Amino acid sequence: MRRVSVKIVRQSKDIPLPEYGTPYSSGVDLRASEELVLQPGGWGSVGTGLYIELPEGYEAQVRPRSGLALRSGVTVLNAPGTIDSDYRGEIRVILINHGESPYHVKPGDRIAQMVLASVVQLEWEEVSNLSLSQRGEGGFGSTGMN
């Protein structure tokens, strides 16, 4: 497995560095560094106390934790959130509570996962027409009923 070095600063040594749950995990767990109560249907931004410097050509994606969503109905609102390589601010996670009860986020709670991804930027080639395809302009639901 290939590894990429990423510089990290953490505000509190009480919160562990993000780590992989298993040897083949693709995402590291992000933990809250502050408290927040999310009411049913409510959302808010939770700090992690982490600041990173990604190498050029990479982004970090902030994604939901499936266990948190299953147990509590709490997930990442803007999933996946994108952290660009030139961002140097605190990593914050926007959570939403789809559950029926208030959800209390406490410092140290695992609230999301972060995945490192390569970035390929597109370059536009403006043309008059696009080539034909079997699908054509078929949109939402056009490839089948299931």
Residue spans of the domains in the chain: they are 27-118
| E strand or H helix that includes residue 10 | strand 7-10
Per DSSP, the chain holds a count of helices (H) and strands (E) of 1, 11
The pLDDT score that the predictor gives to residue 110 is 97
pLDDT, tens digit, for every residue of 71-125?
999 999 999 999 999 999 999 999 999 999 999 999 999 999 999 999 999 999 9
Is residue 77 within 8 A of residue 95, CB to CB? The reply is: yes
pLDDT for 145 beyond 80: no
The domain 27-118 having CATH identifier 2.70.40.10: the answer here is yes
Is residue 8 within 8 A of residue 50, CB to CB? The reply is: yes
Higher-confidence position of 135 and 92: 92
pTM of the model: 0.89
| The two structure tokens encoding residue 119 | 């970035």
The pLDDT score that the predictor gives to residue 63 is 98
